[in-house]
Structure 1
Amino acid sequence: MLDFIYYPVSFILWCWHKVFGFVFGDDNAISWILAIVFLTFTVRGIMFKPFVNQVRSMKKMQDFAPEIKKIQKKYANDRQRQAQEMQKLQREHGVNPLGSCLPLLLQIPVFIGLNWVLRNFYPGKESNYFFDAEGVRSYVDAKIFGVNLGDAINHVSMMGGPDIAETGWQWSVVPVALPLMVVASVATHFTARHSVARQNPASATQQTAIMNRLTLWIFPAGVLVFGAFFPIGLLLYWLANNAWTLMQQRLVYTKIDKEEEAKKAEVVEKRSNLAPKPGQKPQVGQKPKPGQKPAQQPKSSGQKGGGKSGKSGTEQGADKSADKGADTSADKAATGNGQSTKNGKSPKGGSSVRGGAWAKNGGNQQRPASQGKKAQGRKRR
């Protein structure tokens, strides 16, 4: 009925057994142990991408956990409306609720398929999916510390095969199976602890608290108790699976943490680029930081050096031109007073001006320099 699961699992196991059997020999227990371990790694490698999506989905759900709590509190008496709002919130944040469950759902068929295939190895079996009679015999004869890989402490025959007489407790398996059960249980606990430590306390709910207790204590205890019914090969699969999960969690979580740190550093860098440098005034229209003086409008050319007058630059320029023109006219008039006029000649040592020694310049009388000196000399005489 579940051949679509059994055949792929059997094929992967057969491939790896051929690889390691070429190195160590087909009947060597190491070939079968490594085949089971690398079957686990192959399946988990296929599920690596869904696992990364699971971690990202859980991280997003933790980020908007306060919004989830608000919805749960607001629609506490309306479960249907609460579910609708939750789905709407998940769509807005791009979270797939099945993304966190997909890796676990994919591991369950592999666990069931491997359990069935390993239990189907027993003496006298002619074929076991991809394994022929020789492959079945090789697995049955492979022993680790004198214990067959298909044996369990409490061997319950599920196949109805010739080993039905061996159903019951097999104490000879305890020295090998019991340490594997304990190590697998402890590995399950530490894997769950590493995952729970990543959770955001602000996103804790009653459901997450229950799930944390299950993964931290109930599941490891289940492995310890029900491991007595697992074949040695299945205990090896469980141990390899937890070892892979713990390593994968560390790698993926480290990568995601680095991505978040890079994003935060990029945001800080953008803000620092937008902010003015130390000692630099902020640009006009830019909101100053706390404790920083706001930017002032630059002064116009007309206000520079003459803010009290209130005149614009154009008016001051016109005033300067008028003053300069007046000074130039006055200089020309003064120069003309010292030169000979049209109706008179200047005598030696002085100048004569028609109508007197005085020249009028813009209403102001000026005395020629030469005549002024002669007049002063006459008065002294």
Structure 2
Amino acid sequence: MFDVFLYPVSTILWFWHKVFGAVSSPDSGVAWVLSIVFLVFTLRLLLVKPALSALRAGRRTQALAPQLQKIKDKYGKDRQRMAKEIQKLHADNGSSPLGGCLPALIQLPVLLSLYWVLRDFTPGAASNHVFDREGVQSFLNADLFGAKLGNWLSQSAAELAAFGTDHTRMIAVGVPLMLIAGLATFFSLRAGLTRQTSTAPQAAGIAKLMMYLAPLGMLVSGSFFPVPIGVLLYFLATNVWTLAQQHFLTKVVDREEETRKAEKPKVEGPRPGNTP
């Protein structure tokens, strides 16, 4: 299903591995770790524009929240009329109820493809899209402080020993990766909570729940499911990027709103002595 994305994503990873492999050893953990991080950064940089569009659309929808609530209160029993009035409100204000969803849907296949490319470096695999058998083996032999990038925490001691590592080294590397990635997710969700509380209390409640469940889910999946260290690096890089991107794009949209308010013509009241 995602083949149309998997090959370009694996090509970007291959490119960065060639770059960092020329500086360091191609089989070194440093080359592979930097390749994964820069793969994430490259793809997320390409997706900044749709992310900015989603944030702008979300702000427009939030600004309409009071009017939307009035329509729901007035036409709550007449679903057809309510839908018509909501559609008219969005049309009059140049917004769309799906404006914040569509850019996110565009990003989803790319990010899932990034995950699966890293997940497909498996023992015995003859290839992984643009990587040949030698490239797959190079990834599986690479390590970060003794933790193999292709192995995961829940593997048995015998399986880890076969790859030249053990639970001590896997935990020493894997747990900090999960904790930092989880913290980045927590702060990203918390940053968007304040605005949601004032404009959409119901959505804010869900966001507050996810603020705790998402980091917990990362710890559980990384500890008990087959999530290789290389994929944990992906989680870390993409969540740290998300946190930084959210901070930067929020400032961009805030400046745009301030500029629009400053340019909006002021309505002057009647002059003294004149009848309004």
Q: After the TM superposition, which of the residue ranges 176-185 and 69-78 deviates more from structure 2?
A: 69-78
**Distance in 2 (alpha carbons) for counterparts of 1:128 and 1:144:** 21
Q: 1:237 aligns with which of 226, 234, 237?
A: 234
Which amino acid in 2 is paired with 1:93? Answer: N
Structure 2: any 5+ residue segments left out of the alignment?
none
Q: Does 1:149 align with 2:149?
A: yes
Which amino acid in 1 is paired with 2:26? Answer: D
Match of 1:185 in 2: 182
Which amino acid in 2 is paired with 1:224? Answer: L
Q: Matched residue pairs, number?
A: 267
1:45/1:217 Cα in 2 relative to 1: closer, same or farther (>3 Å)? same
Match of 2:25 in 1: 25
**Distance in 1 (alpha carbons) for counterparts of 2:181 and 2:37:** 14
* Counterpart secondary structure, 1:128: coil
* Counterpart secondary structure, 1:197: helix
Q: How far does residue 39 in structure 1 lie from its aligned partner after superposition? A: 1.3
**Distance in 1 (alpha carbons) for counterparts of 2:147 and 2:63:** 50
Match of 2:191 in 1: 194
Match of 2:113 in 1: 113
Match of 2:140 in 1: 140
Q: How far does residue 45 in structure 1 lie from its aligned partner after superposition? A: 1.3
C-alpha deviations, 1:146-167, integer Å up to 9, x for none? 11111111249xxxxxx8xx8x
Any residues of structure 2 matched to 1:48-127 within 5 Å, and which? 48-127=48-127
Any residues of structure 2 matched to 1:256-267 within 5 Å, and which? 256-267=253-264
* Counterpart secondary structure, 1:114: helix
C-alpha deviations, 1:109-129, integer Å up to 9, x for none? 334323332232234432111
Q: How far does residue 266 in structure 1 lie from its aligned partner after superposition? A: 3.3
CA contact (8 A) 2:2 2:109 kept: no
1:85/1:152 Cα in 2 relative to 1: closer, same or farther (>3 Å)? farther
Q: Does 1:46 align with 2:42?
A: no
Higher percent of residues as helix: 2
Which amino acid in 2 is paired with 1:265? Answer: A
C-alpha deviations, 1:295-345, integer Å up to 9, x for none? 9xxxxxxxxxxxxxxxxxxxxxxxxxxxxxxxxxxxxxxxxxxxxxxxxxx
CA contact (8 A) 2:193 2:204 kept: no
Q: 1:204 aligns with which of 183, 200, 220?
A: 200
* Counterpart secondary structure, 2:151: coil
Q: How far does residue 80 in structure 1 lie from its aligned partner after superposition? A: 4.2
C-alpha deviations, 1:77-111, integer Å up to 9, x for none? 34444333323322222223333224443443334
**Distance in 1 (alpha carbons) for counterparts of 2:80 and 2:209:** 27
**Distance in 2 (alpha carbons) for counterparts of 1:108 and 1:152:** 24
CA contact (8 A) 2:185 2:243 kept: no
Any residues of structure 2 matched to 1:208-223 within 5 Å, and which? 208-223=203-218
Match of 1:287 in 2: 270
Any residues of structure 2 matched to 1:367-378 within 5 Å, and which? none
C-alpha deviations, 1:174-233, integer Å up to 9, x for none? 2211111111111101011112234461x2242x13432243122222122112232111
Which amino acid in 2 is paired with 1:26? Answer: P
Q: Does 1:16 align with 2:16?
A: yes
Which amino acid in 1 is paired with 2:167? Answer: W
Q: How far does residue 26 in structure 1 lie from its aligned partner after superposition? A: 0.8
Match of 1:350 in 2: none
**Distance in 2 (alpha carbons) for counterparts of 1:18 and 1:124:** 22
**Distance in 2 (alpha carbons) for counterparts of 1:231 and 1:56:** 36
* Counterpart secondary structure, 1:154: coil
Match of 2:251 in 1: 254
* Counterpart secondary structure, 1:51: helix
RMSD after superposition: 2.8
**Distance in 2 (alpha carbons) for counterparts of 1:121 and 1:88:** 51
**Distance in 1 (alpha carbons) for counterparts of 2:112 and 2:243:** 22
1:68/1:176 Cα in 2 relative to 1: closer, same or farther (>3 Å)? same
1:99/1:22 Cα in 2 relative to 1: closer, same or farther (>3 Å)? farther
Report which of the two structures shows the higher radius of gyration computed on alpha carbons. Answer: 1
Structure 1: any 5+ residue segments left out of the alignment?
157-162, 276-285, 296-381
Q: After the TM superposition, which of the residue ranges 192-201 and 244-253 deviates more from structure 2?
A: 192-201
1:32/1:103 Cα in 2 relative to 1: closer, same or farther (>3 Å)? farther
Percent of pairs identical after alignment? Answer: 45
